[in-house]
Amino acid sequence: MKNVADKISALKRNGHKVLGCFPLYPPMELFYALDLVPVVLWGLKDAIKSTAESDRHLQNYTCSVARHLTEFVLTEGSGMLDGIFMYNACDTLRNLPEIITNATEESGRVLPLISIHIPMALPEQTDASAYFKYEINELITTLEKRFSRMFSKEKFKQVVIKTNQLRKLMADAEKLVASGTIGFSDFSQAIHACWFSTLEDQSGILEALIAGGKKGESGGQGERTGVILSGILPPPASVIEAIESSGLTVVGNDIASLGRAYASMPQVSDNPDSYFLDFYYQHFPCPTLLYSGDRRTTSLFGLVDDSGAEAVIFIGEKFCEYEYFEFPFLSKQLNDRGVKTLEIEIDIDDDAHTSAHRSRIEAFAEMLKSTPTH
Ligand code: SF4
């Protein structure tokens, strides 16, 4: 998303306190309930011209997600954010708080860092719920003090209801992508725009997207082959164009910044610690939530069965070990069920070099069309 800085500037002009969040699934409902606007610092590729500052602190074999967010926080975003929130996820992100804190201090700036630890043990093996609830309640106390706010259960519940409505709108828009009336590129840009917007603005973005898709519904679709995309981020626009122009339709997604982020619908509650216990432990599986690993295959099979997809395309984020460790196993499981798979790897500067991806996608699409469905 090119206008990340503009969007954050607009939030600031409207008097909002903005919290930069990473990694993937922050407790956003809590921030909204305290009148803070969380912005999830992923998908920044189009907003970052170079990673010169980040490269002073991170090795060049770090994934693009970490390099882009570090660059943004240390340069353009540094004066815009009122704080940084993070929880533990992958090894790459684990030491980023210290790196960012030291770098901002070196340059004479102050950027408050707020963090929690999410226990990654399997709940069936180790009951860490008391510790987790303690972390959430400490977070509320920290935020109240830091931003002079007062937590209200009623407001939290309203935000939870609203957030669930937005998740449903995102899922509705995904169905229009599957029917071919919304392009996957427009869809992923709109969802990413939501991660940098207030709740009210998110409604507007999604309703406009859905209204545009419904207008095109009467057009009818030719013979299409359904695929699911799986990965941390959606592929670059040029790769999406290659997929769609090869006659493939994205009928579902297992993308961390898209489907994995909105697929879960936790129970409405005014109690933040039990709400987030449900949110994190019943979350749509993602390799970064280690305890969800055992449910990963089942959820992918479910996506394939529900959508009628004939294939899964894995969008590998280069150097993301969490995703890469699972690709061989998932591919084998899917292939054994007759579902074809393709892996493509996206590097930090792959926007400019996608012709090899295009050739592989076109060959894969041809192969799917000439092979009987499973
Ligand atoms: S892409 Fe992978 S390695 Fe990079 S921050 Fe996300 S989970 Fe971590």
Q: Which tens digit of pLDDT belongs to each residue from 185-227?
A: 999 999 999 999 999 999 999 999 999 887 766 555 567 799 9
Task: Assign 68 a pLDDT band (cuts: 50, 70, 90).
Answer: very high
Range of the domain at 111: 16-150
CATH of the domain at 49: 3.40.50.11890
Q: For residue 174, which of 286, 284, 260 has the smallest C-alpha distance?
A: 260
67 in a structural domain: yes
Given a cut of 70, whether residue 171 has pLDDT beyond it is yes
26 in a structural domain: yes
Residue 90 contacts residue 120 (beta carbons within 8 Å): no
Give residue 15 CA to ligand 1 midpoint distance, Å: 32
What's the confidence (pLDDT) of residue 348? 86
Pocket of ligand 1 (CB under 6 A): 23, 63, 65-66, 89-90, 92-93, 232, 288, 317, 320, 322
Ligand 1 atom, smallest distance to 233 CA: 1
352 in a structural domain: no
C-alpha 146, offset from chain centre = 27
Given a cut of 80, whether residue 312 has pLDDT beyond it is yes
Q: For residue 56, which of 77, 75, 82, 36 has the smallest C-alpha distance?
A: 75
Cα atoms found within 13 Å of the Cα of residue 187, Cβ hemisphere only: 32
User: Roughly how many angstroms between the first and final C-alpha of the chain, as a whole number?
Assistant: 37
237 in a structural domain: no
Please count the other Cβ atoms lying within 10 Å of the Cβ belonging to residue 17: 18
**Strand 17-22's sheet: what is its strand order?**
36-40, 17-22, 83-87, 113-116
Q: Whose CA is nearest to atom 3 of ligand 1?
A: 320
Query: Candidates 22, 288, 289, 318: which one to mutate for ligand 1, based on the most atoms within 8 Å of Cβ?
Result: 288
Contacts of residue 21, Cβ cutoff 8 Å, sequence gap at least 6: 28, 31, 38, 39, 40, 41, 84, 85, 86
79 in a structural domain: yes
What is the percent of the chain with per-residue pLDDT over 90, rounded to a whole number?
Answer: 76
Q: Whose CA is nearest to atom 7 of ligand 1?
A: 90
What's the confidence (pLDDT) of residue 217? 66
Task: Assign 365 a pLDDT band (cuts: 50, 70, 90).
Answer: very high
Separation between Cα atoms, residue 59 and residue 49, nearest integer Å: 18
> pTM of the entire structure?
0.93
Separation between Cα atoms, residue 95 and residue 246, nearest integer Å: 41
Q: For residue 46, which of 5, 93, 96 has the smallest C-alpha distance?
A: 5
Give residue 218 CA to ligand 1 midpoint distance, Å: 40
Q: What is the DSSP string of 20-50?
A: EEESS---HHHHHHTTEEEEE----GGG-S-
313 in a structural domain: no
Q: Which tens digit of pLDDT belongs to each residue from 19-58?
A: 999 888 999 999 999 999 999 998 788 778 889 999 999 9
* Overall domain count for the chain: 1
Amino acid identity, position 364: F
221 in a structural domain: no
Ranges 85-99, 196-210, 258-272, 303-317: which has the least confidence: 85-99
Query: Candidates 323, 325, 345: which one to mutate for ligand 1, based on the most atoms within 8 Å of Cβ?
Result: 323
Given a cut of 80, whether residue 160 has pLDDT beyond it is yes
145 in a structural domain: yes
Average pLDDT of span 258-283:
95
